[in-house]
Structure 1
Amino acid sequence: MSKPDYRSLIDAETWAYIERLDAAYPPDAVDLSVEDQRRVYDAMCRIFDQGRPPGLMVRDLPYGAVPCRIYEKTPTDVTVVYYHGGGFVVGGLDSHDDVCAAICDRTGYRVISVDYGLAPETVFPGCFEDAYAAFKAIARVHPGPLVLAGDSAGGNLAAAVSHQARRAAPGRIVGQVLIYPGLGGDWGQGSYVEHAEAPQLTVADMAFYQKVRTGGAEPPVDDPRYAPLNDNDFSGLPPSVLVTAECDPLASDGEAYRDKLRAAGGQAVWFNEPGMVHGCLRARSMSSRAAVFFDRVVDGIAALGRGDWPYGDVDG
């Protein structure tokens, strides 16, 4: 398989974003200590932070003993539970503050960002246990419709919570929106091979994050809390919108998960946005393609919160 020509696949606007991001958070950041990775990542997030729209009420409070941040604009019955990305190693409430604020502002829904424990201090299954504990507490406090969302590692957690909650709390989750999620796909095929050395995320980076996430142990092969694609039952899952980046090793996970849900009789749609790279939520003010990417995310959350499915049976 020939290597992708990223100079033609990725447009000038997105390259400008990549170059600016690489100057703040270098491609070899995984070679730093975890402490230094977090310091550099947090500094990069501050550079790209777009601030909060006016009129939002924002406060920090725990749910299920897990630190969370709640965003509210107007009275609503719908709550979006958001899990941030960062390879289970970096990120937190501040790294995705502007993303969550924008989702709240544009949908009018309550958004609750979950600050689950990070590796290596919290190794699997601890991160999932934090994510699920927060979900259960949120579900108790906010009885209306729940939409789960998350990017990258957070997309993994959102899906894992959905799989667990369909039996423990049936009917509570009305939808999930998974943003370039890592769901445990086959590293020997598809985008894992074609885009193994993509800008912003490589398979080598993924191997580092996997090692830290498991504490160096072998990853479980049949535990959907670790890899939702490893589940043996995809029935009863909520309507799902998957938004992935074309130039990303994880893109195939969106397709595979969509196919599993559809085969089990569920509703799922997959958008693989052309020319996009992993982490492109931060590019939405610099790249028109990234702005479209974010529109997909917001529109999906808004539709699922209303109980709508505007996608038919055909992917966009």
Structure 2
Amino acid sequence: MTTAKTKLASVFIDGEAGTTGLEIRERLAGVGQIGVKSIDPAKRKDRAARAEMLRNVDLVVLCLPDDAARETVALADELGAEAPKIVDASTAHRVADGWVYGFAEMTADHAGKIRAAKRVANPGCYPTGGIALIRPLVDAGIIPADHPLTVNAVSGYSGGGRSMIEAYEAGTAPAFELYGLGLEHKHVPELQTYSGLTRRPIFVPSVGNFRQGMLVSVPLHLDVLPGKPCLRDIESALAERYRGSEIVRVATEPSASLSRLEAEELNGTDKLELYVFGKAALNQAVLVARLDNLGKGAAGAAVQNIKLMLGLD
């Protein structure tokens, strides 16, 4: 007796030669139900060839600059019912109408929204950590939506694009630098929107001389928050939000045994770890998220969203 072969879901990575595209392709190679299609490099900018590719795949992942991503979406619009599902890894559609934000653990029902979506905007690496820390506390009433917040973060240089990667790998970049000091970093709109904040947070990103890995931290004065929450209140709210998650882990009372946290521990994984540090006597806390900026901060989240949208989760 012969068994019929299961049809593979087809995925096209538009921009597969970039850092995120390569990471996504590598991860999809381990997903048996998905076949990845590629376009002839000579026809990469041929509008008709691109339209034909879009017409013949189940889902396209956009690993492109924002303007190029918008062009591909416009091309998909022209296909009507023949258009594929889209995961956009650019910044172009993260707060756009008609797009679902691709952070599956953001709320209890959000994975279901991604599963039902035709178009999903993959989150930025920095906002993934910030939203993971802030949104549950806003939803629980621990942090008011209009509370003034500062989000600090450090990332490996792989998240900075080709020119930054080349500078670090050539040894011409500084060991560490702050950037985005005009306070208009492109990740701020999604950080504010999906954290549930009505007041724009101050976001201070930085980059270090290591390829990948990320720490995102949010300092809090507990005595100025409504109800004056303790460290355990914050930890419990986070733990409740991510209970049962195989990806997001909330550390239990980490400050008792940790005084340092390094950025590269989760490299090569799609995990996200959350910590609540602080001292009750000082009424102060520091919330920290640790992740691989190329994992849960980019390619790992994209593959998670692809699998949800294709019903392969």
- TM-score, reference length from structure 2: 0.30
Structure with the larger strand share: 2
Structure with the larger helix share: 1
- TM-score, reference length from structure 1: 0.30
